[in-house]
Structure 1
Amino acid sequence: MTQVTDQRTTAPFGAVPSWSSPGPLRPAPDFGPTDRLRGWLVTAFLTTIAAITRFTMLNYPTDAGTPVFDEKHYAPQAWQVLTGGGVEDNPGYGLVVHPPVGKQLIAIGEALFGYNGWGWRFSTAVAGTLLVLLVIRIVRRMTRSTLIGAIAGILLIADGLTFVSSRIGMLDIFLALFVTAAFGCLIVDRDEVRARIASAYAEGRIGVTSLGPRLGVRWWRFGAGILLGSACATKWSGIYFIAAFGLMSVYFDLSARRTYGVRRPWFGTAIRDIGPALYALVLVPLGVYLASYWAWFASETGVYRYMPGNPAATDPIGTDGFWSHIVPGALRSLWYFNARSLEFHTQLTNSAGNHHPWESKPWTWPMGLRPMLYYYADTGVTGCDQSKCVKAVMLIGTPAIWWVALPVLAWMLWRSVVRRDWRYGAVLVGYGAALLPWFTTLDRQMYYFYAVPMAPFLVMGVALTLGEVLGPARRNPAVHRQAASDRYPPPSERRSLGLLTVCLYLGLVIANFIWLWPILTALPITPDTWHNQLWLPSWR
């Protein structure tokens, strides 16, 4: 007589069980998608589409051959980086209030194409294209579905916020690229950690110590640290992602230890995981940040380069005292430099009388209620087949994507808290790091382009939600009988209706993006068309 055993133990059926639920004791070994060739073909195709949209008419518009909007700060500073030995050492070009990496990247384009629209926008277009590639691969890995990854890529291609940010010589698209890439590294690191712990479990090593196994060298997390350091070396708001992603990475480790039955998972995480996480996600970014100032350290004329003992300093640094004997003068000068930059940002407040007609506050960003006008011309404009034409570039998120943000966020919260779906929780961590810290400084002058790092995570959340709408790919063969010769069971009616719904939504997004195209790319349009594009009073 065949003996019936429980799925989770080897105890005979009817014996006192050592389980509390009928599911498998440990998760199935699933540590990444397997359709590699198809996945890369889809990724390459959509990335090519993204590149075509980002690079088309990249050198247009300009202000009589000069930069537009805040390009006027970064394009000249990048040119100074290129021609001045890697450092912007002339405050006459404008305020040096951001770290150097973004300007160094812009300088690469200027080295290739010269001081023109192609030059100061080339690197941002590359960054915007790579951002699409990353989002496709990240969502594909989280969902184990090339289809859902492709959906995420299509959404990001058609997002007006990242589209415009990819076609103007500013820093925000670089920040978005670095933090998204760091997020992707930590998602791969999560899979690798679980694969290592699963291997230890299969080999019977999981209980050798109550702390669980050591996880070894984690190169993907080290890479995340380099990318987060690059983010901070582009804009200081990257530090929010260091804090958020550091906590997320440690939580991933704790969850893995608990899942595979480590006897003391909390203690094991505290002893074996927190220290390496601090090294990889705090010390490494700090080292990258300092290294980004390599040219400044080597220069003789860099802004604030030699401040200890400088009598011309507004807040002079002494040459004696405790810190002068411990911290090198170069680092003290860099501290002074950064303190002056921070002082500029902290004083740029509404209460101090600083106002801008297109500024916005963070509560308007999730739905893009207050976009920003980068460029507008109504004099000497032709090409709209009427006597009077206008052209404009407006930074605006595609409404078909951004206006569903609130219900999508609510769904993500429910899935994270009630259903314990780690994918939604991870995306919320990235989205929250991009949005929530700005609520602590509401008096500060803020703009919608600060929301650019939110866009990849919003798109990820929408794509995950659309994956739920799609439903399971096939009927359950245990429920629906099929011929023995059928290799795959037929799609369910539920799946077909879900696919139809998703296709209709993607069509709406693409149509919305095409509708906005004239005011995203400064095509000549009539004044009536311009006003028809401005759907909300807050867009005017």
Structure 2
Amino acid sequence: MLDRLKALRTRPYLVALLLGIAAQTLFSVHLDRPSRIMFDEVHYVPAAQTLLDLEGPRNVEHPLVGKELIGAGIVLFGDNPIGWRALTSFAGTATVLGAFAFLWLLLGSMRAALVGAVLTALNQSVYVQARTAMLDIFLGAFLLWAMVVMLWAAKGASGQVTRRWVGAGVLLGLAVGTKWAAIPYVALAGCAFLVTRLRDARVARRPLSSAFSGKNQPHWPGLATFPGLMLLGVVSIATYFLTFLPAFFYARDPLTLAGLIPLQQEMYALQTQVLQRHTYQSDWWSWPLMLRPIWYFYEWDEGAQRGVLLIGNPVIMWGGLLAVLACLWAGFREKAHRPLALALLWIASLGIYVVIPKSLGFYYYYHLSAIFLCLALAAAFHHFDRGRGKGREEWFVFAALAMFVYFYPILAASPLQNDQGFTRWMWFASWR
């Protein structure tokens, strides 16, 4: 089917436009369901309202960017469910387009880019988070677009590289300004830059010392390695601290320059505190297996029983694990560094939660990893298909779509038959 769209293969901007319209439509239909605050919206919607009024600090545990964006939606669309979730729906569309742009730049294949983007829209984690006023959808969008801009900079002419590199630093700073979970990705971005430089030197049979020069570089030409790393760090850190600007104008306990660093220490203490057990807590190793999804909402609302379950698309989540293994195989056995990089990115995204000092974990922490699974799936199909167009990925997309349609009623707060209507989707006891 995708091969029949030959006229669009050389028009990525048109494809991106159509894809963006489709994604935004998907995320926007019945965005006002449920009509009440659900799950962790109880933290972020009031915090955004408080921030709009500049009343004073609230939800100090997390930085301000996500709450600023939720507040922007309230300003544009009103203090109602659509206003709370409007900007998260836009961030969901940005995530889908980011997957498309990243794969197009990485693999140069319209088929792979479109497959990866559609799977991202259907992976259910993105869908639910795009319709919930929480922070993770913004985190994913900023990080994915930082990856896009870094890759775009790698392919730029000498005069374009620095501007694009600065743009990537700004996006990384905004990601950290959304949730501190982005901090390891700033380090990963620097490592990816350095490893690519060293690999380029090895492939060109040049001394490794040449990797630190900006001259005659196939990637990021004109950008020397150590200045590039420093620029990325300085820009991302400066952007992060600039996002606290509204806090300087609070009516109560306004932030001061002297209080900026102590605020970071307070945030760290809050994020690493030992919390009481939670009904929906889960361990990092259980997330790929999808053992403990989360009911964001299950109540009577607007004349019907409705539910919103954060649960991944089984076709994508479990099939994606096979794709990661395939990408590792391609990397180590066939020296295919692009699939290998995506497999390692997924592994790193999960490994972060092995080491960070959080006392509780939740399935929504897997949001970024779920996106990277979609990228790995597209890369695996692209690599092993080797341009023969056998259409295996199309059947996979159809299966993912069918599964999405199956779960749709408990993703979109559709009316259920009664208060036990959820049971038809409960494959395992741990899903209840």
Q: 1:281 corresponds to which residue?
A: 232
CA contact (8 A) 2:331 2:337 kept: yes
Match for 1:375 among 297, 306, 310?
297
1:535 to 1:508, Cα distance in 2 relative to 1, 3 A: same
Match for 1:534 among 423, 426, 432?
426
CA contact (8 A) 1:240 1:433 kept: no
The one of the two structures with greater contact order (alpha-carbon pairs below 8 A, sep at least 6) is 2
Q: 1:89 corresponds to which residue?
A: 56
Higher mean alpha-carbon deviation, 463-472 vs 176-185, is at: 463-472
Structure 1, unmatched stretches of 5+, are 1-33, 197-214, 306-329, 383-389, 474-494
Q: 1:340 corresponds to which residue?
A: 266
**Cα distance in 1 for residues equivalent to 2:234 and 2:44:** 28
Q: 1:269 corresponds to which residue?
A: 211
1:508 to 1:35, Cα distance in 2 relative to 1, 3 A: closer
SS, match of residue 414 in structure 2: coil
**Cα distance in 2 for residues equivalent to 1:462 and 1:513:** 17
AA of the residue aligned to 1:524: P
Query: How big is the alpha-carbon RMSD for the aligned residues of Structure 1 and Structure 2?
Result: 2.3
Between structures 1 and 2, the one with greater helix share: 2
Structure 2, unmatched stretches of 5+, are 1-6, 215-223
1:504 to 1:416, Cα distance in 2 relative to 1, 3 A: same
AA of the residue aligned to 1:89: G
Q: 1:316 corresponds to which residue?
A: none
Q: Deviations over 1:440-469 (max 9, x none)?
A: 247611111111122221100011112235
The correspondence of residues 92-241 of structure 1 with structure 2, limited to 5 A, is: 95-192=59-156, 217-241=161-185
1:189 to 1:443, Cα distance in 2 relative to 1, 3 A: closer
Q: 2:3 corresponds to which residue?
A: none
CA contact (8 A) 2:35 2:301 kept: no
Kindly tell me the number of residue pairs found equivalent between the two proteins: 416
CA contact (8 A) 2:120 2:126 kept: yes
Q: 2:19 corresponds to which residue?
A: 46
CA contact (8 A) 2:9 2:110 kept: no
CA contact (8 A) 1:361 1:442 kept: no
Shift of 1:429: 4.4
Shift of 1:419: 2.4
CA contact (8 A) 2:8 2:15 kept: no
Q: Deviations over 1:346-375 (max 9, x none)?
A: 1134xxxx1111111111122322111100
AA of the residue aligned to 1:336: P
AA of the residue aligned to 2:290: G
Q: 1:427 corresponds to which residue?
A: 342
Match for 1:399 among 307, 314, 332?
314
SS, match of residue 272 in structure 2: helix
1:533 to 1:343, Cα distance in 2 relative to 1, 3 A: same
Shift of 1:83: 2.2
CA contact (8 A) 1:367 1:404 kept: no
CA contact (8 A) 1:190 1:253 kept: no
Q: 1:458 corresponds to which residue?
A: 373
* % same residue: 29
**Cα distance in 1 for residues equivalent to 2:209 and 2:80:** 57
**Cα distance in 1 for residues equivalent to 2:340 and 2:357:** 26
TM-score by length of 1: 0.73
**Cα distance in 1 for residues equivalent to 2:289 and 2:151:** 27
Say whether residues 1:513 and 2:404 are aligned partners.
yes
**Cα distance in 2 for residues equivalent to 1:380 and 1:57:** 12
**Cα distance in 2 for residues equivalent to 1:294 and 1:413:** 44
Say whether residues 1:292 and 2:243 are aligned partners.
yes
Shift of 1:379: 8.0
SS, match of residue 376 in structure 1: strand
**Cα distance in 2 for residues equivalent to 1:155 and 1:416:** 22
Match for 2:394 among 487, 496, 503?
503
Higher mean alpha-carbon deviation, 332-341 vs 175-184, is at: 332-341
AA of the residue aligned to 2:416: I
Shift of 1:253: 2.1
Q: Deviations over 1:36-56 (max 9, x none)?
A: 752222222222111111011
Q: Deviations over 1:358-406 (max 9, x none)?
A: 1111111223221111000158853xxxxxxx32101111111001232
Say whether residues 1:525 and 2:420 are aligned partners.
no
**Cα distance in 1 for residues equivalent to 2:98 and 2:286:** 26
AA of the residue aligned to 1:414: W
The correspondence of residues 7-18 of structure 1 with structure 2, limited to 5 A, is: none
**Cα distance in 2 for residues equivalent to 1:433 and 1:236:** 16
CA contact (8 A) 2:172 2:236 kept: yes
**Cα distance in 1 for residues equivalent to 2:357 and 2:320:** 21
AA of the residue aligned to 2:273: Q
**Cα distance in 1 for residues equivalent to 2:175 and 2:100:** 20
1:82 to 1:257, Cα distance in 2 relative to 1, 3 A: same
AA of the residue aligned to 1:418: R
Higher-Rg structure is: 1
AA of the residue aligned to 1:535: W
**Cα distance in 2 for residues equivalent to 1:380 and 1:425:** 48
The correspondence of residues 349-364 of structure 1 with structure 2, limited to 5 A, is: 349=275, 354-364=276-286
1:335 to 1:502, Cα distance in 2 relative to 1, 3 A: same
